[in-house]
Amino acid sequence: MNILTEQLPDFIDISGKIYKINCDFRTCLRIILAFEDETLTGFEKQAILLSNLFLTQPENIQAALEQANVFLNGGKVGEDDDTYHPRLYSFSKDAAFIFAAFRQTHGIDLQKADLHWFEFLALFMDLGGETTFSNLIGLRKRVKDGTASKEERQAARDMGEAFEIPEPDTRTLDEKEREQEFLKLVQGK
C-alpha cells in the first residue's frame, strides 16, 4: 500500500468478505496496549483486538487475527525474520514522551487529532531526533547493542525504571504453568 497514492483502508478483506474496521489511531493503540499487558491472557488479548477493531465479528477468526496483525503493522506482511530486535519503546510507558514528541515535531495535539492508524504510524516513524522520546530510544538502542559510552550507561542506570522496557513474555499458558510447578518443586512448596 502506498500512502501517497492510495486511500487509507477502512476495511479488511477476509476470505473475500469485506469487514469494516475502526481505523482510528486511539483504537489501534488500545489494542497494542492490551498486548503489552502481561496480566491478560492470549485469549483475552485476541478478544480485545477482535471486539475493538472489527465493527462486525468476522466468521473466520484465525484469518481475522492474521489480517488484523497486517493492518496494525501498517499494511506490511510480517517477515519470518529470526533476527533479534530489542524492544526500544512502549506505548504505555512512553506515552507522555510520545505525546510531547508529536507536539514538538509535527505540531499535533494527539488529544484533538483525528488520525487514521496509518497516518499515525507514518508520523510516529518521523518523530524528530531532538525530542526526548527519540533521544531515549537512541540511548536504549545503544545500551542494548553494547555501543553506549560509560557515561550513557550510567545515565541509563540513573533513570532506573523509566529507562527499562521489558521484553514481552511470549510463553504459552502451559509453559507458564510448567514453570510455576517447577519453581514449587525447587522451592519445596
- What's the CA gap between 127 and 105, in Å, rounded? 6
User: pTM (2 decimals)?
Assistant: 0.84
3-state secondary structure of 178: helix
How do residues 151-180 score in pLDDT, each as one tens digit?
999 999 999 888 988 776 666 667 777 777
- Choose among 75, 60, 76: nearest CA to 19: 60
Dihedral (Cα; 25, 27, 29, 33), 10-degree rounding:
180
The pLDDT tens digits of the residues spanning 122-148 come to: 999 999 999 999 999 999 999 999 999
Amino acid at 144: K
Amino acid (one-letter) located at 140: R
| Residue 43 confidence class, pLDDT cut points 50, 70, 90 | very high
Could you give the 3-state DSSP secondary structure of residue 129?
coil
Amino acid at 145: D
User: Within 10 A of 142 (CB to CB), how many other CB atoms are there?
Assistant: 15
Query: Which SS3 state, helix, strand or coil, does residue 17 take?
Result: strand
